[in-house]
Structure 1
Amino acid sequence: MTTPSATPRVRRLPERAVLVELPASADAVEADPTALPGVAPAAAWRRWGWAVAFVPTVALLVYQRLATGRGWSVPDAVVVVGTIGLLVTALLALVRYLDDRVAAGLARSRDALLAAPVRTTGTLSLAAPDDRAPGDDAPGDGADAHEVHGNLVVSTPSGTTTRPLRVAVPSGVARPRPGDPVAVWHAAEDDDASGVVLVRYHRDWADDLLVALRGGDAGPVQDPEPHEADGPDVREGRPPGAE
């Protein structure tokens, strides 16, 4: 009998399955999603590389057939290059086929998310430290647009899942900090948040949530001496000048 592992499960899914939004206000984080951010298309070579390799390969095969039929000598290099071209074409066609399957699965997951969204909370674990301190990126500080890479840890009723995360932070927007909470939306049928998820982050929303989580007994502690300079010393019930 094996005991369950305490480490989060890692889902080997494409990074573009995690969609990130940086709303303009904290209230917008809680709104039900009605549209999802677009996904960057696959690289051109992954989609059309097979065609680039296929055209010269077909030309070599046609030349080889014509040369054989007319009794011409066919150099060995033509045969070798033609064979390699067929292998490269088949490999790139397989890449295109797998990309199309992934794209179709992502499209179905996006539709399921919009049809029945469920919200949970995740935590950011930023793998690569940035060149500035986390507090140096307040809105309006003139920072250049940059990307933050790391992991998203999502807690669902079925367990904890870790997903790769990439946040494109525009200039003047507060970027996420390690350990910050985020709002995560997933489809109702996706119990373990292993499909397409929508991540929303806003600095004020994250701060408010952290205060709510940690503020159960923080009220009395924050004001230890509320009457320190208010007048008579009444801590022992003695009037002023009693000494």
Structure 2
Amino acid sequence: MSVRWQQVDSAAAVDAPLGDLPTPERPGWLRRWLWAPALAASAGVYATQRLVENPSGELELGLMLALLALLAVTAVAALVRYRDDQRLARETRGVEALRRDARSTTGSVTVTERPVGDGVMLRGLLSYPRDGDTAEDTWSLLVSDGDPLGPRPGDPVAVWWAPGSDDVVARYHRDWADQVRRRTR
């Protein structure tokens, strides 16, 4: 499950329609295509290894080590590309499902805080009703100094989810959470 946090500027913005979600970012060119030059270099080293007649032991060892290193780089780069493509496809499906059939509800959060650099890393569990059950997703949010305050333990949050999607959008504003708490008491 993937939780996308939206810290909004006002209490009214929490209940506003979900709107257009940003499309997932594609990884950079080098991350996507590093496997190709590594594979080409591996083929070049292999061809060199086969074309050299009577190589010295040092040259043969050097070519073999270069070939192994280039094949390792090729394999890792290809695996990174594969995993990036899987993540991009999953996130795109999630965004499309939310655009098509987003459903909203109110959930609550547990929160633990850890100071980092110029802010606080918040982590916890998001609980909300989904298809007759209670869904629980882990989440994290970096709140920098000067950003709107993050959720407190037990605070309500607005949650959008879609059937068939593992992505949820959680919106939060402290004044909205206080209003919901007053209404439910």
Name the TM-score, length of structure 1 as normaliser: 0.63
Aligned twin of 1:185: 160
User: SS at 2:112's partner residue?
Assistant: coil
Q: CA deviation at 1:169?
A: 4.6
Aligned twin of 2:138: 163
State which of 22, 25, 33 in structure 1 corresponds to 2:7.
22
The structure-2 alpha-carbon separation of the partners of 1:168 and 1:62, relative to structure 1 and needing over 3 Å to count, comes to farther
CA distance in 1, matches of 2:28, 2:156: 32
User: SS at 2:176's partner residue?
Assistant: helix
User: SS at 1:79's partner residue?
Assistant: helix
Amino acid at match of 2:178: D
The structure with more helix, counted as a fraction of residues: 2
Aligned twin of 1:134: none
The structure-2 alpha-carbon separation of the partners of 1:63 and 1:127, relative to structure 1 and needing over 3 Å to count, comes to farther
Aligned twin of 2:183: 212
User: SS at 2:159's partner residue?
Assistant: strand
Using the aligned pairs only, state the percent identity. Answer: 32
Name structure 2 gaps, 5 residues minimum: none
2:170 aligned with 1:199: yes
Amino acid at match of 1:177: R
RMSD (Å) for aligned C-alpha atoms: 2.8
Amino acid at match of 1:99: D
Name structure 1 gaps, 5 residues minimum: 1-12, 132-143, 216-243
Name the TM-score, length of structure 2 as normaliser: 0.80
State which of 121, 141, 147 in structure 2 corresponds to 1:148.
121
How many pairs were matched up?
Answer: 180
Amino acid at match of 2:179: D
The 10-residue stretch of structure 1 (72-81 or 21-30) with the greater mean CA deviation from structure 2: 72-81
CA distance in 2, matches of 1:30, 1:178: 20
CA distance in 2, matches of 1:200, 1:174: 12
Aligned twin of 2:112: 127
Aligned twin of 2:99: 114
The 10-residue stretch of structure 1 (50-59 or 85-94) with the greater mean CA deviation from structure 2: 50-59
CA distance in 2, matches of 1:175, 1:55: 49
CA distance in 2, matches of 1:210, 1:47: 47
The structure with more strand, counted as a fraction of residues: 2
Contact 1:119/1:186 (CA < 8 Å) preserved in 2?
Answer: yes
